[in-house]
Homo-oligomer: A and B are copies of this chain.
Amino acid sequence: MSDHIYKIIELTGSSPESTDQAIRSAVRKAGETVKHMDWFEVVETRGSIQGGEVEFWQVTIKVGFRIES
């Protein structure tokens, strides 16, 4: 990391498969409008339950991306 400034946004991704997949889906969605994404960190891991089984894994992450000069 050099002398840059980063902005951090918060997103909740969801997936019927796994916690990791919920994170990947949030990162990809963010990438549609934001460039220069550099890192993420997990803020909270939750999920919805339907019929006694995990229905959706929901992971809230912070994503840091470099602001262009």
Q: How many copies are assembled?
A: 12
In contact, B7 and A14 (Cβ under 8 angstroms): no
Note all chain B residues with C-beta closer than 8 A to A13.
Answer: 5
Interface of A, helix, strand, loop or mixed by DSSP: strand
The count of residues in chain A whose C-beta lies closer than 8 Å to any C-beta of chain B is 50
Residues of chain A at the chain B interface (Cβ within 8 Å): 1-16, 18-20, 23-29, 31, 37-42, 44-49, 52-54, 56-58, 60, 62-64, 67
Q: How far is the CB of A36 from chain B (nearest CB, A)?
A: 9
A39 in complex: contacting residue of B3, B46, B62, CB < 8 Å: B46
Whether B46 lies near A41 (C-beta < 8 A) is yes
Q: Evaluate contact between A63 and B42: CB separation under 8 angstroms.
A: no
